[in-house]
Homo-oligomer: A and B are copies of this chain.
Amino acid sequence: MKPIREAARLSGLSEKTIRYYEDMGLVTAARNPANGYREFSDCHIADLRFLHQAREMGFDLAACQQLLQLKNDPCRRSCDVKAMLQQHIDEIAQRVEQLQALQATLQQLADQCRGDDTSECAIIDGIASAECEHLAVSRKS
Contact = CB atoms under 8 A, between A and B. Distances in A.
Interface of A: 46, 49-50, 52-58, 67, 70-71, 73-79, 81-83, 85-86, 88-89, 92-93, 95-96, 99-100, 102-103, 105-107, 109-110, 113-124, 127-128, 130, 132, 135-137, 139, 141
A106 B57 contact: yes
Given A57-B135, A102-B92, A106-B85, A78 B113 contact: yes
A135 B119 CA distance: 42
Copies of this chain, whole number: 2
Contacts of A56: 132, 135-137
Contact of A118 (B78, B106, B122): B78
A79 to B, nearest CB: 4
